[in-house]
A and B are shown apart, each in its own frame.
Chain A
Amino acid sequence: MNQKKVVLVTGAVVGALSVLLMKAGNPANMGICVACFIRDIAGALGMHRAEIVQYIRPEVPGFILGSFMAAVVGGEFKARGGSSPLLRFILGFFVMLGALVFLGCPLRMVLRLAGGDLNALVGLAGFTAGIWVGLQFLKGGFSLGKSSKVAVANGYVLPVVSVVLLILLVTAPPFIFFSQKGPGSMHAPWLMALAAGIVVGVLAQRSRLCMAGGIRDLFLIRDPHRFRGFVMIFVVALVFNMAFGSFKLGFAEQPVAHSDGLWNFLSMMLVGFGSVLLGGCPLRQCILAGEGDADAAVSFLGMLTGTAFAHNFSIAASPNGVTPNGKFAVILGLVVVTVIGYLSMPRSVALKTKEEAQHAL
């Protein structure tokens, strides 16, 4: 199967599975949400105590393990790292604060749109603006530095953590928190959710599906390849939502969403900006971590920590709206990401002569 077909099939499968997971018990317009699901996992581990969002979502370990298996089989598993892990942790952290003020990762943004939630359109505009801003830094020479091969154990860390999470889910020891009500209590049967996560992980590894990458490539090289996957998720989820009667067009009273336009825009701008500097959206970070990328694994830990902070410090929004702390966190996030972007640019960015350019590389 050629790459074009792989990305289209991946988009279609992600769109279909998202609606099916929702029908099987996941919260509305939240068949898959990398931010919400990592947040639920942080809650289950007691990293935050928001009682309505605590559950070990098997989809997330599924993404990582699916990617791990696909990478091993495809000969693409390679333990690598050392490209500014600390900065990646911080970027991952703020990407999650943005996502939880918007109430969804870029993938859930598309799913919300496919469910008729027009607030997601405002989020998409912000996400696109953030990607454009991030791209200007990349064009100016932004780099977090080269990664290199590292001891293979680095590459196994997140796949092993994923297995441990699944064991904790199935054995449900008393120190793991499981929501009794709210979104955290709504979930598809765990085996189905895990299987869906693994399928998405395998396909996303093969297709390099990335919500930020799709839009970024449109700007950067005017190539719609990855964006087709993005569109396919939307179209298939839309068709499924209509077929199941779960499509409701409008801004008001959308499931697990608020309609504060300014903050929907700015929070997703933060997500887009941070994702581009990280080299991929939250889903892509999970996939890269499964392939052995220890830097992406650190981004994942930053995201996990970010979700915990979001709930410990009243940063996460709710259907009631955005909190003052949430607004502050988004502004702080935009400032921090800008500073990281600026400080990671070379002092002279113009390739003046061939000799200088060769030397710079």
Chain B
Amino acid sequence: MPYKVDARGLSCPQPVVLAKKAVEQTQEKVIEVLVDNAAARENVSRFARSAGCQVEVLPAADDEYVIKIIREPGATK
């Protein structure tokens, strides 16, 4: 089960803060961040890449996006 973060409706940069916390404080290999605007989608994706993770963006219903952050072995925390 991926670790899920619901960051819908939050102002910039709270989605990034939550995603960062999830990456730093959990051991899950896959973290899914749910966002509801393009700016948050870009910010979270950019954070995840800069943290050395793989990123997949999946469109969800109603202008929402699931950002799948896939931790790679040896990724910087």
Q: What separation, in Å, do the CA atoms of A125 and B51 have in the docked complex?
A: 27
1/0 contact string of B21-65 vs chain A (CB within 8 Å): 110011000000000011100110011001100000000000100
A217 located at the interface, meaning its Cβ lies under 8 Å from any Cβ of chain B in the complex:
yes
CB distance from A307 to the nearest CB of B (A): 22
Report the bound CA distance from A276 to B10 in whole Å: 13
C-alpha gap A266/B3 in the complex (Å): 41
Q: Are A221 and B25 in contact (CB under 8 A)?
A: no
Contacts of A179 in B (CB 8 A): none
Q: Does A5 contact B (CB under 8 A)?
A: no
- Does A138 lie within 8 Å of B37, measured CB to CB? no
- Which residues of chain A from 203 to 236 have any CB-CB distance to chain B below 8 Å in the complex? 208, 210, 213, 216-217, 220-223, 225
Binary contact readout A1-29 vs B (1 if CB under 8 angstroms, 0 otherwise): 00100000000000000000000000000
Interface residue? B75 (CB, 8 A): no
- Is A348 in the interface zone, CB < 8 Å from B? no
Given A76-B37, A220-B20, A361-B6, decide whether A225 and B11 contact each other with a Cβ distance below 8 A.
no
Known: A221-B51, A222-B50, A223-B47. A3 touches B42 (CB 8 A): yes
- CB of A267 within 8 A of chain B? no
Q: Is A347 an interface residue (CB 8 A)?
A: no
State in angstroms the CA–CA spacing of A225 and B13 once bound together.
14
Interface pair B5/A361, CB less than 8 Å apart: yes
Asked whether any CB of chain B lies closer than 8 Å to the CB of A147, the reply is: yes
Across-interface contacts of A208 in B (CB, < 8 A): 12, 39, 42-43
Q: Which residues of A contact B16 (CB under 8 A)?
A: 220-221
Residue among B11, B14, B26, B37 with max Cβ neighbours from chain A (10 Å): B11
Interface stretch of the complex, out of A192-200, A243-251, A351-359: A351-359
Within the complex, what minimum Cβ distance (angstroms) separates A220 from chain B?
A: 6
In the complex formed, the residue of A with least CB distance to B62 is A149
Contact A280/B12 with A76-B38, A221-B20, A223-B46 known, Cβ cut-off 8 Å: yes
Interface size on B, residues (CB 8 A): 29
Q: How far is the CA of A195 from the CA of B10 in the complex (A)?
A: 32
Question: Which residue on chain A has the smallest CB distance to residue B39?
Answer: A208
Is A187's CB within 8 Å of the partner chain B?
no
B13/A361 in contact, CB under 8 A: no
A354 to B28, CA, bound (A): 10
Asked if residues B13 and A279 are in contact (CB atoms below 8 Å), the reply is: yes
How many Å lie between the Cα of A222 and that of B50 in the bound state?
8
* A279 with B18: CB separation less than 8 A: no
Assess the A351–B13 pair: CB atoms within 8 A. Answer: no
| Contact yes or no, A139 B10, CB < 8 A | no
How distant is the Cα of A134 from the Cα of B46 in the complex, in angstroms? 21
Q: How far does the Cβ of A341 sit from chain B's closest Cβ, in whole Å?
A: 13
Instruction: Find chain B residues with CB under 8 A from A223 CB.
Output: 46-47, 50
Is the CB–CB distance between A220 and B9 below 8 Å? no
In the complex, which residues of chain A have a beta carbon less than 8 angstroms from the beta carbon of B17? Answer: 138-139, 220
Q: For the complex, what is the distance from the CA of A147 to the CA of B26, rounded to whole Å?
A: 27
User: Once the chains bind, are B4 and A358 in contact (CB under 8 Å)?
Assistant: yes
- CB proximity of A312 to chain B, nearest CB, Å: 30
| Interface 0/1 of A287-299, CB less than 8 Å to B | 0000000010000
Top 9 A-B residue pairs of the complex, sorted by shortest distance between their CB atoms? A146-B9, A279-B11, A221-B47, A279-B12, A147-B9, A223-B50, A208-B39, A351-B25, A138-B17
Q: A208-B42, A361-B18 are in contact. List 11 more A-B contacts (CB 8 A).
A: A138-B17, A146-B8, A146-B9, A210-B12, A213-B12, A221-B20, A221-B50, A223-B47, A280-B11, A351-B25, A354-B3
- List 23 interface pairs A-B (beta carbons < 8 Å), by A numbering: A74-B38, A78-B37, A83-B11, A138-B14, A138-B17, A143-B11, A144-B11, A146-B8, A147-B9, A147-B10, A210-B12, A213-B12, A216-B13, A217-B13, A220-B16, A221-B50, A223-B47, A223-B50, A279-B11, A280-B11, A357-B25, A358-B4, A361-B6
